[in-house]
Amino acid sequence: GEDVEQSLFLSVREGDSSVINCTYTDSSSTYLYWYKQEPGAGLQLLTYIFSNMDMKQDQRLTVLLNKKDKHLSLRIADTQTGDSAIYFCAEHDPSGSARQLTFGSGTQLTVLP
Amino acid sequence: DGGITQSPKYLFRKEGQNVTLSCEQNLNHDAMYWYRQDPGQGLRLIYYSQIVNDFQKGDIAEGYSVSREKKESFPLTVTSAQKNPTAFYLCASSIDTESYEQYFGPGTRLTVT
């Protein structure tokens, strides 16, 4: 079955780069997403990558996709305290009938001053 | 401003009572979703609706019910049959179920004692 896995915690110093990793199992996934959740709030779509791409860059965010290893990463350059949040990886399998997105458990990013 | 609203932000109920969570969107989106979020876990899909007067069970529909009488509204009822109702509930919408982007509301934290 489909499964998306992430490590639960990551701490970085302000100004450093953060790399959040995700592995997924469904090779038919077409889109892979990164969402951000601030405390007590809903999820905000940060970026996404289509499965035929290897990399996508959007300002401070870089998404890398290794389709062979089913590995997705989100790199945040020059991490700021405002980047502290939970980051969710999610996949979209259009062939699925019961659901459209499968979410990982989320990675809590803590940015230390 | 367009968006998704959920009310109330915090809800307290006694065990054995049914409770209805509100979700309204003015984005003119066809599809709407309800997710449940527990600490350290990803989002799990409860119900989704592709169009008015139609809805489908997600992965954890037992103990929940929904209705979709209007395009803008997708209320979720947590019934007394739900064994562990205390959680953070998130509503989302998208243009249709094939869209890669889901827009999330701010969430409702339900506590049942």
Q: Which of A42, A44, A45 lies nearest to residue B107, judging by beta carbons?
A: A42
B43-59, pLDDT tens digit by residue? 999 999 988 999 999 98
pLDDT at A82 > cutoff 80: yes
CA nearest to A89 within chain B: B42
B58-113, pLDDT tens digit by residue? 989 999 999 999 999 999 999 998 999 999 999 999 886 565 678 999 999 999 99
Can you read off the two tokens belonging to residue A47? 């970026």
Q: What is the pLDDT of residue B107?
A: 95
Rounded Cα distance between A74 and B111, Å, is: 33
Distance to chain A for B41, nearest Cα, Å: 4
Contact residues for A46 (Cβ-Cβ < 8 A; gap 6+): A33, A34, A35, A36, A61, A74, A87
CA nearest to A3 within chain B: B42
pLDDT at A83 > cutoff 60: yes
Q: What is the pLDDT of residue A71?
A: 94
